[in-house]
Every structure is written in structure tokens, then in C-alpha cells.
Amino acid sequence: MGETVRIQVPGGEMAAYVARPATAPAPAVVVLQEIFGVNAVMREITDGLASQGFLAICPDLFWRIEPGVDISDRTEAEWKKAFALMNAFDAGQGVTDIAATLAHIRADPGCTGKAGAVGFCLGGQLAWLTATRTDVDAAVSYYGVGIETLVGESPALRKPVMLHIAEADGFVPPPAQAAIREGLGGQPLATIHTYAGRDHAFARVGGEHYDAADAALAGQRTLDFLRSNLGAT
């Protein structure tokens, strides 16, 4: 279903995977990757959003470190590489590249001009930063890591954001979750959903912590949120 495009960004050119819906024009959704790059899971999510009527695009946000990263969560070596990439990643530059992706996809003839973002893990943190630092129309964060240190940016929100938090997330422990809830208390543009007993990446199909029921629940909440805020049918 998808194709690879090139996006001009500050300092170079970045690849992105694009999947187009059956009907155009459509609102766009930028898919923000986990620490494994633009891999099969991210491409499937992008394809799935296109099947739901969105013009979906997944940029290669690790391109400044290593272009074309496409690994899985299956081996220790891949995990080691994924964490090394995450540790080398500059989130500020990532947001710059996401802003360029938003501009690129909004200018696509197949786009209505509305554009949202959905991110997972590292991409969940980036979805939050996209909501506070860019002109995105709506953003969804799945089990975003490190958001507890960034909730001070909540006054910068101008458009709605939804957070999916796994209550048993080993990377976002209870004190971090409490800090997120406290930091976003009274922020009407932020919606938080929590999932009891779920661990990190509960929505990653085939992953160790995958839970089909809560993945489906979070997925439907995400689709309803995006359709409501981006004008999709």
C-alpha cells in the first residue's frame, strides 16, 4: 500500500513511508516511531490509518544518526542497538523534522490541510512535544517515555492531545504517572486514558506485552479522537 518519499529538512533530506487512503482529499496523520525505526510494525500502523481514511506518513526520525533503521524487538542485539539509537537521538531536532513532515504532508494534494500525530514509546514522547511545540491539529501519545519531565510545557498546548498510559509500565513507573496526571490537571486540552495491569507497548502487535482487548480499546479511542479533531468521516 505504501511508498517512500523524500522530505527536505534542515540539514538534509529525510525518507518517510506514506500510505494513502482510498478517498482523497483526507486529513493527514504523522506516525512517530518506536525505538526500532520505521519497521514493519510502524508501516502496518501507517497502512492501518490509511485504511481508516487518513493520509498517513511515518518519517525516518533516526536519519541523522543512521538512515533506514528497520529492526525488531526479537533479539538482544536489536534491543541493544535500539537503546543506543534512542540515547543518541536529539528530541529537539526530532521535533524540527516532525514540523517539516507536517508541512510536507499538508502541502500534498491528497491532504485537506488538517494533520495530526500518533506516537509510540519514544514516539509517544515526541507526540507530546509535537503537541506543545508545533502547529499540529491533534496528537496522540501511546506510553510516552519521559513525559513527566516535560509536562511543564502544557501551557503551550493549543490543540487537543490524548495520552494512553499503561499502569504497569516499567518505563513509566507510578511516580512518573502521578507527575503526568498532576502536571496536566486542569488542562482542558489533555485527555488521559489509563490501562490497568498493562505494561509498556501493550498495543504493539506481536510484542511481549501485547493485549488485544486494550489495544483495540486504545485504537478506537484514537480513531474517534482523530476523526473528531481532524474532520475525518
CA 100 to chain centroid: 15
Amino acid at 53: G
For residue 200, indicate whether it is catalytic. yes
Residue 173 parent element (H or E): none
For residue 193, indicate whether it is catalytic. no
Which residues 6+ apart lie within 8 Å of 210 measured at CB?
A: 201, 202, 203, 204
> Which residue is catalytic, options 164, 200, 211, 214?
200
DSSP state of 74: S
Alpha-carbon distance of 125 to 91, in angstroms, equals 9
> Which residue is catalytic, options 169, 199, 211, 214?
169
- In this structure, the number of other CB atoms found within 10 A of the CB of residue 117 comes to 29
Residues known to be catalytic:
169, 200
